Amino acid sequence: MMTSEAPKKHSFKQQQLLFRETAILDAVNQLLAQKGFDLMTMDEVAATVGIAKASLYKHFASKEELAAASMTRLLQHALEVTASLPKEDSPLAKLKALVQWTVNTHLQGAMPLLPSTRSTIQTALQNYAPYMECLGRLIEQLGTWIQSAQASGELSSDLPGEVMLYTIFARSCDPVADFLKQGGAFSDQEITELIVRTTFQGMTGQSRPA
Amino acid sequence: MMTSEAPKKHSFKQQQLLFRETAILDAVNQLLAQKGFDLMTMDEVAATVGIAKASLYKHFASKEELAAASMTRLLQHALEVTASLPKEDSPLAKLKALVQWTVNTHLQGAMPLLPSTRSTIQTALQNYAPYMECLGRLIEQLGTWIQSAQASGELSSDLPGEVMLYTIFARSCDPVADFLKQGGAFSDQEITELIVRTTFQGMTGQSRPA
DNA sequence: GTCTATACGAGGATAGAC
DNA sequence: GTCTATCCTCGTATAGAC
């Protein structure tokens, strides 16, 4: 029964499956960034991918699971970014680079945003082990950098690291980026720089104290 | 036909009407703060107020109009706060006080939050003249303060005032406040102070450079 | 594992009596 | 202008053929 070909065939099928699921998650990612979880409909997802709605449910059991998978992929991407930063960079430089990537992704319309508190997904996310694991690793990495930066004086040591961690995470859904983009007065790169600067230096200090 | 009593009766009826509408807006305000526009249902609003859902529509034509009225009342409240600040305060102090009020209101669960971009309400808000008028006045007031603060060196003059304006507005829906509150390690007052400080001084500088 | 067709519930809005 | 009862659309999820 052509057992010798079975593995190859199986692998090919799996690749097709993976490819399809990647396409689905791409669509979900885009729609989550555009409209958020509550306003994203399964019909839209299916239409964007170009498949029937029922087929979605062969890959993902529910809308919540779809969002959770998308968010997990995003966190994995963020972890890759953190891992790819130059070792010689200071902790503060790494944190800035991550914020830069975050805002940029947001501006590209590729940052899925889930209502911070409330909504049904938050519980779904917490029950989704892969998501929680990625989140834990990211938090640990950032926490390490923050502590180092505080120890070296790059970051204020009398501000709780917790606050800094949340502040950095919050850049992913910062409406300031949307407002500035809508205004049209700044390029994406300028917007990113402005937000990075405001996040770390605030609004009182000078940009480059000579 | 008791024409002499008509005005009084009319006034009394109007007061009753106003009272009822205030109660409705209180409920809407609370629900918008808890769940946001999309997840707030008219059934919930009616149940919270303690009236039938159909009665809501005698006062407000649609869910959008309800949200717009609630947001307008919030802006009016904000304008009152700005007007009540001590004249002797510096522009920067006034801006900080407003952010403080904003975050505090948010923490109290009384800050209605509408998804920054997207969603049907944004267009509804822009077509609602009272809202736009209040918003314009608030923006103008803040813009004046920002310019003064930049001129006196209290705020950085090489950061566009637009960015500062949006940054201040964004504190009304800052998820950092929710995260910190959920963590339980800080009191509401501490959270407010932390956010005000982060907003204006950022994360690099010291709190009180001696 | 993809499709068409449909069940089912939720929620915005209205009808019509009082 | 308040109520009860209802309409109707939309959106999640499933059934069942191929």
B54 touches strand D (CB under 7 A): yes
**Averaged pLDDT for residues A120-137:** 94
Residue B104: both structure tokens together: 């505090």
Q: Which pLDDT belongs to residue B195?
A: 98
Protein contacts on strand D: list nucleotides below 7 Å from a Cβ.
1-5, 10-16
> What's at A21, amino acid-wise?
E
**Each residue's pLDDT tens digit, A16-74:** 899 999 999 999 999 999 999 999 999 999 999 999 999 999 999 999 999 999 999 99
User: Cβ of A109 under 8 Å from any chain B Cβ?
Assistant: no
Residues 170-199/A with CB within 7 Å of nucleic chain C are none
pLDDT, tens digit (0-9, with 9 covering 90-100), for A147-206: 999 999 999 999 999 999 999 999 999 999 999 999 999 999 999 999 999 999 999 976
Residue A29 has a pLDDT of 98
B20 touches strand D (CB under 7 A): yes
What confidence score (pLDDT) does residue A2 get?
Answer: 44
Note the pLDDT of residue A1.
44
pLDDT band at B117 (very low <50, low <70, confident <90, very high): low
In the block, tokens 């319309």 appear at A109
Quick: pLDDT tens for B124-171.
999 999 999 999 999 999 999 999 999 999 999 999 999 999 999 999
Q: Which of B115, B173, B203 sits opposite A36 (nearest CB)?
A: B115
B210 in contact with chain A, both atoms CB, cutoff 8 A = no
Q: Is the pLDDT of residue B1 over 60?
A: no
pLDDT, tens digit (0-9, with 9 covering 90-100), for B147-157: 999 999 999 99
Q: How far apart are CA B70 and CA A169, in angstroms?
A: 29
Choose, out of B163, B191, B192, the residue to mutate when testing the contact with A (most A CBs < 10 Å): B163
Q: Is the pLDDT of residue B68 over 70?
A: yes
Which long-range contacts link B170-173 to residues 24+ away (Cβ below 8 Å)?
A: B170/A174, B170/A175, B170/A176, B171/B99, B171/B102, B171/B103, B171/B106, B171/B195, B171/B199, B172/B102, B172/B105, B172/B106, B172/B111, B172/B113, B173/A175, B173/B106, B173/B111, B173/B113, B173/B116
Q: Report chain A's mean pLDDT, rounded to a whole number.
A: 93
What percent of chain A shows pLDDT beyond 90?
84
Query: Is A202's CB within 8 Å of B207's CB?
Result: no
What is the DSSP code string of B67-125?
HHHHHHHHHHHHHHHHHHS-TTS-HHHHHHHHHHHHHHHHHTT------SS-SSHHHHH
Q: What is the pLDDT of residue B114?
A: 82
Assign domain A64-201 to its CATH architecture: Orthogonal Bundle (1.10)
- Going by pLDDT thresholds of 50, 70 and 90, the confidence category of residue B120 is confident
**Spatial contact of A74 and A112, defined as CB atoms under 8 Å apart:** yes
On the 0-12 / 13-18 / 19+ scale of CB atoms within 10 A, A65 is middle
Give the mean model confidence (pLDDT) for residues B78-95: 98
Q: Tell me, what's the pLDDT at A207?
A: 56
Question: In what helix (H) or strand (E) does residue A102 lie, and over which residues does it extend?
Answer: helix A91-107
Tell me what the pLDDT averaged over chain B comes to: 93
Model pLDDT, residue A4: 45
| Local confidence band at B205 (pLDDT 50, 70, 90 cut-offs) | confident
Q: What pLDDT, on a 0 to 100 scale, did the predictor assign at position B155? A: 98
d(CA B32, CA B67): 8
Both tokens of B187, joined, read 């009191």
Q: For residue A3, is pLDDT > 50? A: no
